Amino acid sequence: MKLMAVTDDRHDIPDLLRILLDIHPYVDHVQIREKNKPAGAVYQLCRELVKEGLPEEKLWINDRVDAALLLGLKQVHVPGHGLPLKELKRQYPELRIGAPVHSFEEAMEAEAAGAAYVLYGHCFPTASKQGKAPQPLSNPVRIRQSIQVPMYGIGGITAERLAVLKALELDGAAVMSGIFSAKQPLEAVKELREECSRLEAIQ
């Protein structure tokens, strides 16, 4: 199973830079989701990450397509309220674009529009979605059988819950609070990586 770390917009830039440089060897993807920081701060963070050795192919920038283009990065994630995926692909065919989905119909639309992957959730109860019921876990089975692009689960992901995503035949997990709200993010990532590797070895 693949592992994506999704930042939670709760750390300042120096702290976030340190955490990401520590954890990136243990994850397959890093999504920079800093919705309350200005574009300039996101740009500086991503520039420093690449400069300090985080591989560009691991890095996805949420929403700030402008920062990605300025940095020459090719991977972005567009939120549901963000720029239209289909139009972005038309204007910038070189971009790889991830998209959030909450239903079978949204997943089919995202793939047809050119999504590189879809992010389904939230899968489990999570502090970041208080008062909102998780999405049905019956949906991913139908979605997975109908689309070709990778599908990740997000929301309330813990090492113990990764087996559920594996059983649903998801390609991986996107983890936010489980990493960035942890007292020791590096140890949290190592635990997640170990479980992902264990599940990956099971046929």
- Long-range CB pairs of 182-185, under 8 A, 24+ apart, other chains included: 185/19, 185/22, 185/23
DSSP result, 126-169 = -GGGTT-PPPPTTHHHHHHHH--S-EEEESS--GGGHHHHHHTT
- Does the active-site annotation cover 122? yes
Cβ burial, residue 132 (10 Å; 0-12/13-18/19+): exposed
Determine the pLDDT at residue 132.
84
All domains of the chain in start order, with CATH: 2-201 (3.20.20.70)
Report the pLDDT averaged over residues 164-184: 97
Q: Which of 85, 82, 68, 97 is nearest to 35 (CA)?
A: 82
The pLDDT value given to residue 175: 98
Say whether pLDDT at 203 is over 70. Answer: no
Q: Give the active site residue among 24, 29, 77, 122.
A: 122
Q: Tell the residue number behind the tokens 């609070």, with chain if given.
A: 177
Q: What average pLDDT score do residues 22-46 get?
A: 98
pLDDT in tens, 42-86: 999 999 999 999 999 999 999 999 999 999 999 999 999 999 999
